[in-house]
Amino acid sequence: MKSFDEYLSDAEQAHGHLCAGQVLGVRLAMLGLEKLGMDDPQGKDRKRLVTFVEIDRCATDAVAVVTGCRLGKRALKFRDWGKMAATFVDVESGRAIRVAAKESSKALAREMHPEIGNKNQQQMLAYREMSDEDLFATQWVKVELPPEEFPGFKAERITCEKCGEGINFRREVRSEGKVVCRGCAGESYYTPAD
């Protein structure tokens, strides 16, 4: 495990700037890993960890930096709940811890540093100084992780019977007697432009 300051500097580089979200995200991920007893998430523990993030803001980048979990490794799962929280799953032991930033931490930051007018600067300093208990709520949880959600899972690709595009690892849908992709099944996020 690197130190808080080392991770923060890595996060600043990966994210493009230093902000309160980086401080929060680094601490959130370090706390989750500590609870799971993982001290080498990018080394010996790298195949043990899957992370669910519940927000797509600044802190998410910091969580990815500390955990080493990436979308491209299928180790980072995004659930768009708009909540400053993440769940860290040890796939070896099945243990999982959800860490959520307390909404009260913003007001506490104001109380701790009323002399700092800039909110980002105020939170950046206060989030460094606050205790884990003031900053976060933690909960042991169970996460059902089907085989195809595991980073290393491999299975045959199949072809969508409507559009003909290839589909990976059990992401196909059965619809009206056909095996189709989620787009053709009606879940599409796009429509043709013309």
| Pick 1 or 173: Cβ nearer Zn ion | 173
Cite the beta strand spans of the chain per DSSP E: 49-53, 76-78, 85-90, 96-101, 136-141, 158-159, 166-167, 173-175, 178-180
Q: CA dist 34 to 67, 79, 164, 189, Å?
A: 11, 23, 46, 38
| Pick 21 or 32: Cβ nearer Zn ion | 21
Q: Are 72 and 60 in contact (CB under 8 A)?
A: no
Q: CA dist 6 to 1, 23, 125, Å?
A: 10, 11, 16
Q: Are 142 and 38 in contact (CB under 8 A)?
A: no
**DSSP classification of residue 92:** T
160 binding Zn ion? (CB under 5 A): yes
Beta bridge partner(s), residue 101: 136
Among 163, 170, 171, 188, binds Zn ion (CB under 5 A): 163
Task: Give least dist CB 123 to Zn ion, A.
Answer: 11
Residues binding Zn ion: number (CB under 5 A): 8
Task: Give least dist CB 125 to Zn ion, A.
Answer: 15
Report phi then psi at 94, rounded to 5. Answer: 80, 0
Task: Give least dist CB 40 to Zn ion, A.
Answer: 26
Task: Give least dist CB 159 to Zn ion, A.
Answer: 9
Residue list 53-92, contact with Zn ion (CB under 5 A): 58
Task: Give least dist CB 135 to Zn ion, A.
Answer: 17
Binding mask 15-54 for Zn ion (x = CB under 5 A): ----x-x---------------------------------
| Pick 25 or 89: Cβ nearer Zn ion | 25
Binding mask 164-183 for Zn ion (x = CB under 5 A): -----------------x--
Identity of the residue numbered 76: L
Q: State the residues that interact with Zn ion by CB under 5 A.
A: 19, 21, 58, 160, 162-163, 181, 184
